[in-house]
Amino acid sequence: MSSSGFASQNGAGGSYTNGPSQNPVGVYPSAQGLMAPPLPGYMNSLPTKGPPPTGPGFSSRNQPSPVAPPASPGLRAPPQASSTPPPISSYSQHPPQPSGWSGVTSAPLAPPAAPGLRAPPQASATPPPISSYSQHPPPPSGWSGVTSAPPTAPGLGAPPQASATPPPINSYSQHPPPPSGWSGVTSAPVAPPAAPGLRAPPVGNHVSGGTSTPPVFQNTMQPPAALQHAALYPAPPPQMTRPMGSSYPSLQPAYHSPPAPPQLHPQPVSQLSPSLAALSLQSQPPEALRVVNLLQERRLLPPGPVTPPTPCLPQDLQKLNCCPEVFRCTLTSIPQTQALLNKAKLPLGLLLHPFKDLSEEPITALALHSQLPVVTSSNIVRCRSCRTYINPFVTFVDARRWKCNLCHRVNDVPEEFMYNPVSRSYGAPHKRPEVQNATIEFIAPSEYMLRPPQPAVYLFVLDVSHNAVETGYLEVVCQSLLDNLDSLPGDTRTKIGFITFDSTIHFYNLQEGLSQPQMLIVSDIDDVFIPTPDSLLVNLSECKELVQDLLASLPQMFSRTMETQSGLGPALQAAFKLLSPTGGRMSVFQTQLPTVGIGALRPREEPSQKPSQKAAPKEVQHLNPATDFYKKLALDCSGHHVAVDLFLLSAQYCDLSSLGCISRYSAGSVYYYPSYHKQHSPAQTERFQKDLKRYLTRKIGFEAVMRIRCTKGLSIHTFHGNFFVRSTDLLSLANVNPDAGFAVQMSIEENLLDLQMVSFQAALLYTSSKGERRIRVHTLCLPVVNSLTDIFAGADVQAITALLASMAVDRCVSASLGDARDALINAAIDTLASYRASVLSIQQPGLLAPACLRLFPLYILALLKHKAFRTSAGSRLDERLFCMCQLKSQPLLYLMLMIHPSLYRVDDLSDEGALNISERTIPQPRALQLSVEQLSRDGAFLMDCGTVLYLWVGRSCSPVFLTQVLGVESYTALPLLMNQLPELDTAESSRLRALIDWLRERRPFHPVLHVIRDESPLKAELLQNLIEDLSESALSYYEFLLHLQQQICK
CB 1001 within 8 A of CB 116: yes
Compare residues 99 and 186 and give the one whose CB is closer to Zn ion.
Answer: 186
Q: Which residues in 690-798 belong to E strands, given as ranges? A: 701-710, 714-720, 724-727, 730-736, 742-748, 757-768, 773-785
Specify the stretch interacting with Zn ion by CB under 5 A; choose among 106-114, 379-387, 558-566, 1038-1046.
379-387
CB of 473 to Zn ion, least distance (A): 51
Looking at the DSSP bridge assignments, the partners of residue 462 are 500, 589
CB of 385 to Zn ion, least distance (A): 5
Sheet architecture: strand order including 1008-1012: 902-905, 940-944, 948-953, 1008-1012
CB of 171 to Zn ion, least distance (A): 22
CB of 23 to Zn ion, least distance (A): 25
CA angle in degrees (0–180, nearest 5) for 587-592-596: 95
Q: Is 386 in the site for Zn ion (CB under 5 A)?
A: yes
Interaction residues for Zn ion, span 403-422 (CB under 5 A): 404, 406-407, 409
Specify the stretch interacting with Zn ion by CB under 5 A; choose among 402-410, 449-457, 915-923, 995-1003.
402-410
Residue positions counted in the chain: 1050
Mutual angle of helices 892-899 and 797-814, in 10-degree steps:
70
Quick one: how far is CA 396 from the chain centroid?
A: 35
CB of 403 to Zn ion, least distance (A): 9
Q: Residue 70: CB partners within 8 Å, gap ≥ 6?
A: 316, 430, 431
CB of 406 to Zn ion, least distance (A): 5
Compare residues 710 and 860 and give the one whose CB is closer to Zn ion.
Answer: 710
**Three-class SS state of 701:** strand
Compare residues 383 and 733 and give the one whose CB is closer to Zn ion.
Answer: 383
Compare residues 184 and 741 and give the one whose CB is closer to Zn ion.
Answer: 184
Interaction residues for Zn ion, span 937-996 (CB under 5 A): none
CB 1039 within 8 A of CB 1030: yes
Candidate residues 126, 388, 798, 890; the one interacting with Zn ion per rule CB under 5 A: 388
Specify the stretch interacting with Zn ion by CB under 5 A; choose among 71-79, 165-173, 336-344, 380-388.
380-388
Q: Is 757 in the site for Zn ion (CB under 5 A)?
A: no
Compare residues 404 and 469 and give the one whose CB is closer to Zn ion.
Answer: 404
Q: Is 777 in the site for Zn ion (CB under 5 A)?
A: no
Q: Is 383 in the site for Zn ion (CB under 5 A)?
A: yes
Count of residues in contact with Zn ion, rule CB under 5 A: 8
Specify the stretch interacting with Zn ion by CB under 5 A; choose among 98-106, 284-292, 375-383, 888-896.
375-383
CB of 779 to Zn ion, least distance (A): 12
Specify the stretch interacting with Zn ion by CB under 5 A; choose among 329-337, 377-385, 462-470, 890-898.
377-385
Q: Considering just the CA atoms, what is the radius of gyration of the chain in Å?
A: 28
Q: Is 692 in the site for Zn ion (CB under 5 A)?
A: no
CB of 393 to Zn ion, least distance (A): 12
Site string for Zn ion, 22-61 (x = CB under 5 A): ----------------------------------------
CB of 60 to Zn ion, least distance (A): 12
Specify the stretch interacting with Zn ion by CB under 5 A; choose among 384-392, 625-633, 689-697, 701-709.
384-392
CB of 1009 to Zn ion, least distance (A): 51
CB of 383 to Zn ion, least distance (A): 3
Task: List alpha helices for 497-567, DSSP H.
Answer: 544-557
Give the strand pairing for 410-412 and 401-403.
Answer: antiparallel
Compare residues 175 and 866 and give the one whose CB is closer to Zn ion.
Answer: 175
**Three-class SS state of 590:** strand
CB of 745 to Zn ion, least distance (A): 23
The CA distance from 26 to 422, in Å, is 52
**Three-class SS state of 305:** coil
Compare residues 412 and 1015 and give the one whose CB is closer to Zn ion.
Answer: 412
CB of 394 to Zn ion, least distance (A): 9
* SS3 letters across 324-387: CCCEEECECCEECCHHHHHHHCCCCEEEECCCCCHHHCCCHHHHCCCCCCEEECCCCCECCCCC
The CA distance from 936 to 341, in Å, is 44
CA angle in degrees (0–180, nearest 5) for 64-67-68: 130
Compare residues 175 and 432 and give the one whose CB is closer to Zn ion.
Answer: 175
Instruction: Tell me which residue of 711, 705, 136, 152 sits closest to 393, measured CA to CA.
Output: 711
Compare residues 409 and 631 and give the one whose CB is closer to Zn ion.
Answer: 409
CB of 685 to Zn ion, least distance (A): 52
The CA distance from 323 to 329, in Å, is 11
Q: Residue 850: CB partners within 8 Å, gap ≥ 6?
A: 288, 289, 290, 291, 292, 792, 793, 795, 835, 839
Q: Quick one: DSSP state of residue 301?
A: S
The CA distance from 426 to 81, in Å, is 5
| CA torsion through residues 404, 407, 410, 413, sign | negative
**Three-class SS state of 658:** helix
Compare residues 495 and 712 and give the one whose CB is closer to Zn ion.
Answer: 712
Compare residues 175 and 1013 and give the one whose CB is closer to Zn ion.
Answer: 175
Quick one: how far is CA 132 from the chain centroid?
A: 22
Instruction: Tell me which residue of 701, 733, 708 sits closest to 351, measured CA to CA.
Output: 708
Compare residues 670 and 716 and give the one whose CB is closer to Zn ion.
Answer: 716
CB 491 within 8 A of CB 771: yes
Candidate residues 92, 135, 332, 385; the one interacting with Zn ion per rule CB under 5 A: 385
Compare residues 199 and 409 and give the one whose CB is closer to Zn ion.
Answer: 409
Specify the stretch interacting with Zn ion by CB under 5 A; choose among 381-389, 424-432, 569-577, 662-670.
381-389
CB of 80 to Zn ion, least distance (A): 27
Compare residues 712 and 836 and give the one whose CB is closer to Zn ion.
Answer: 712
Compare residues 394 and 881 and give the one whose CB is closer to Zn ion.
Answer: 394
| Contact set with Zn ion (CB under 5 A) | 383, 385-386, 388, 404, 406-407, 409
